[in-house]
C-alpha cells in the first residue's frame, strides 16, 4: 500500500506560503482523493471520473490556492466533495428515471472500497450512507485532522467528531449483522 494517508515528507517540510508545482501535488494526493471519492460514492468508475474532474478543477484554480489556509489535500478533498455532491444530485435525478438494480447488483459482486477487504466489511461499508463513509474516509484513511475534515465537510469540528463516532459504531454493527 502506498503511503497516501501519511503527510508527504516533502509537503510536511514545506513552509506555509511556499509554492509547490501542481504535478507534485497530483503525485502526492491522487490516490488519497481517489480513495476518498470511492468511499463517498461507493462506485469506482464514478470515482475515477470524479477524481479526474476534481484535478481538472484544481488545475484551473491552482493559482488561487492559498497554502496558508490549509494543506493541498484538504483543498483537493473540498473540491472533490463539491464535485461528488454534484454527481449525487445528478445521480438522484437519473435514478428517478432509471432502474439501476442491475448496476448495484454488479457492484456488490466485487470489492469496491479496497482490495483485500473481507466481503463482510465491504458489504457493511455499502450499507453506510455516503455521509458516513465520507467521514470515515477523511478521518481514517486520509488521516485528516479534525479541523481539516470539518472544513471539507462544511460542518463544525464537534459535528464531524460526532458523525465519525456514529459512523464507526454503525459500521461495527453492520459488520456484525453481515457476519450473522
- Interacting residues with another protein (CB under 8 A): 1-2, 4-5, 17-23, 26-27, 30-31, 33-35, 38, 40, 48, 51-52, 55-56, 59, 62-68, 85, 88-89, 91-92, 113-118, 121, 129-131, 134, 136, 139-141, 143, 145-146, 154, 161, 164-165, 168-169, 171-172, 175
Residue 127, all three cell numbers: 450499507
Identify which of 45, 51, 47 has the alpha carbon closest to the alpha carbon of residue 29.
51
CB 72 within 8 A of CB 28: yes
Q: Which of 148, 144, 145, 105 is nearest to 4 (CA)?
A: 144
CB of 98 or CB of 172, closer to another protein: 172
Give the shortest CB-107-to-another protein separation in angstroms.
14
CB 127 within 8 A of CB 33: no
Shortest distance, CB of residue 101 to another protein, whole angstroms? 16
Residue 161 CB, nearest distance to another protein (Å)?
Answer: 6
The HSE-up count of residue 44 (CA atoms within 13 Å, CB side) is: 12
Shortest distance (Å) from residue 38 CB to another protein = 6
Q: Do 22 and 59 meet the contact criterion of CB atoms below 8 Å apart?
A: yes
Closest to another protein by CB, 23 vs 102, is 23
Amino acid at each position: 500500500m502506498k503511503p497516501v494517508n501519511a503527510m508527504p515528507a516533502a509537503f510536511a517540510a514545506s513552509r506555509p506560503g511556499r509554492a509547490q508545482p501542481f504535478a507534485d501535488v497530483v503525485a502526492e494526493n491522487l490516490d488519497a482523493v481517489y480513495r476518498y471519492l470511492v468511499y463517498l460514492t461507493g462506485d469506482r468508475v464514478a470515482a475515477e471520473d470524479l477524481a479526474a474532474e476534481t484535478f481538472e478543477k484544481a488545475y484551473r484554480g491552482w493559482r488561487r490556492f492559498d497554502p496558508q489556509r490549509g494543506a493541498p489535500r484538504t483543498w483537493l478533498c473540498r473540491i472533490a466533495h463539491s464535485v461528488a455532491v454534484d454527481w449525487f444530485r445528478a445521480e438522484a435525478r437519473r435514478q428517478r428515471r432509471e432502474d439501476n438494480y442491475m448496476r448495484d447488483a454488479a457492484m456488490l459482486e466485487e470489492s469496491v472500497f479496497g482490495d483485500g477487504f473481507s466481503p463482510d466489511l465491504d458489504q457493511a461499508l455499502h450499507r453506510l450512507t455516503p455521509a458516513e463513509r465520507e467521514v470515515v474516509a477523511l478521518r481514517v484513511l486520509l488521516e485528516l485532522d479534525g479541523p481539516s475534515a470539518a472544513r471539507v465537510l462544511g460542518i463544525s469540528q464537534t459535528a464531524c467528531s460526532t458523525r465519525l463516532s456514529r459512523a464507526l459504531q454503525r459500521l461495527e454493527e453492520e459488520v456484525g449483522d453481515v457476519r450473522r
